[in-house]
Amino acid sequence: MPHYTLLEVNDRKTRKEFLMLPVRLYRNDRNWIRPLDEDVERVFDPKENKMFRTGAAIRWLLADPQGKFVGRVAAFYDKATAAKNEQPTGGMGFFECINDREAAFRLFDACKQWLEERGMEAMDGPVNFGERDRWWGLLVDGFTEPNYCMPYNFPYYRSLFEAYGFKNYFNQYTYYRTLTTERGLQKTIREKAERVARNPDYSFTHIDRRNMEKVVDDFRAIYNRAWANFPGVKPISKIHAQSLLKSMQAILDERLMWFGYYRDEPIAFFIMLPEINQIIKRLNGKMNLIGKIKFLLHQKILKTNTKAFGVIFGVAPNHQARGVEGALVMAFAQEAKKPDFHYTDLEMNWIGDFNPSMMRVAEQIGGSIIKTHVTYRYLFDRNKPFTRMKKVNTRN
Which residues of the chain form beta strands (DSSP E)? 5-8, 55-63, 69-78, 89-97, 122-125, 138-141, 167-178, 202-206, 257-262, 265-274, 307-315, 345-352, 368-379
Q: Among 127-136, 213-222, 319-328, whose mean pLDDT is lowest?
A: 319-328
CA proximity to 60, closest of 7, 125, 123: 7
142: left (phi over 0), alpha (psi -120 to 50) or beta: left
- In words, the CATH class of domain 180-343 is alpha beta
- The band of 396, judged by pLDDT with boundaries at 50, 70 and 90, is very low
- In words, the CATH class of domain 5-171 is alpha beta
**pLDDT tens profile 244-276:** 888 888 899 999 999 999 999 999 999 999 999
- pLDDT > 70 in the chain, percent: 96
pLDDT at 231: 59
Nearest-10 crossing angle of helices 238-248, 212-226 = 120
pLDDT at 234: 79
Q: Is the pLDDT of residue 157 over 50?
A: yes
pLDDT at 184: 65
| Average pLDDT of the segment spanning 2-25 | 96
pLDDT at 226: 86
| Average pLDDT of the segment spanning 175-179 | 89
Start and end residues for every CATH 3.40.630.30 domain found in the chain: 5-171, 180-343
Q: Is the C-alpha dihedral spanning 221, 225, 230, 231 positive or negative?
A: positive
3-state secondary structure of 234: coil
- pLDDT > 90 in the chain, percent: 73
Number of C-beta neighbours around residue 387 at 10 A: 11
| Average pLDDT of the segment spanning 353-371 | 89
* Cα-based angle 176, 144, 139 (whole degrees, multiple of 5): 90
Global pTM reads: 0.90
Query: Which residues lie closer than 8 Å to 210 by C-beta, 6 or more apart?
Result: none
